[in-house]
Amino acid sequence: MTKSAPARPILIAGNWKMNHGPAETRAFFRDLRVPELPSGVQLLLFPPALSLAAARSELEQRPEGFPPVSLGVQNIHWEPAGALTGELSAEMARSAGASHALVGHSERRQLFGESDEDTVRKVAATYRAGLIPVLCVGETLEERRKGSLARVLHRQLDAVIGPEGLRTEIATGPFVLAYEPVWAIGTGETATPDDAAEAHGLLRAHLGERLGRTAGDGIPILYGGSVKPKNARELLAAPEVDGVLVGGASLEAESFAQIAAASVSPQG
């Protein structure tokens, strides 16, 4: 398949999950060697919240010419403050140096019971604090086998686009969408480029229907699900794939750099 050249940025994002404390974070950035990237390619990492300061410090010390790396948090609470032991507000994340926040990751939905309603509150909180939301959507293996891909993706997306206030915020941006087939996360299974293209095409069309074509076409859609250096180039070449959300392969500086390098010429 031939990939068109949209005016959207290409995002290479890494979600470290509950890995890499401050010491490991400092070592990662000291080992990171990224090739020269086109201006449209952006790097984004989601370390644990306790490692944000270490990541920010290392990035401030990188030599001139090193590609910029944005930082995000893996989760936020929708309240700005309060008696919510263990939680992190979007405002706190912003003040700690984060520019993005993951919302609705499948592990938050499955392990912690987060609902579509929770994602609405969290996306609203990111905009209130000046963060860029990265909304994760995707189907389970059971839902996929039942042929419910479109229904599940539409439901998860409509939950956030539906409220009039958020529809306006999302349409004017910035907003990032990440498709993560739940059956391919941490399992070693990977959606084929055709699988990714199908899901991303459904999401792109639905964004256009809900927000208007111009606004819908401007939203980057990332693929996340067992992305590795060996499959990154092929996935990035798939239609409507505007980047990747990498899990385990982003923990090592070398493999993350290899995935970033795959974005330089995704069609080979």
As annotated, the active-site residues are 105, 180
SS3 217: helix
Largest Cα separation within the chain, whole Å, is: 52
Gap between the terminal Cα atoms of the chain: 12
Cα distance between residue 202 and residue 152, in whole Å: 11
The Cα 180–Cα 177 span in angstroms is 10
Burial code (b: 16+ CB inside 10 Å, e: under 16) for 77-115 equals bbeeeeeeeeebbbbbbbebbbebbbbbbbbbbeeeebe
How many residues make up the chain in this entry?
268
Contact indicator for 159, 120 with CB cutoff of 8 Å = yes
Distances (CA, A) of 155 to 11, 21, 35, 104: 25, 36, 39, 13
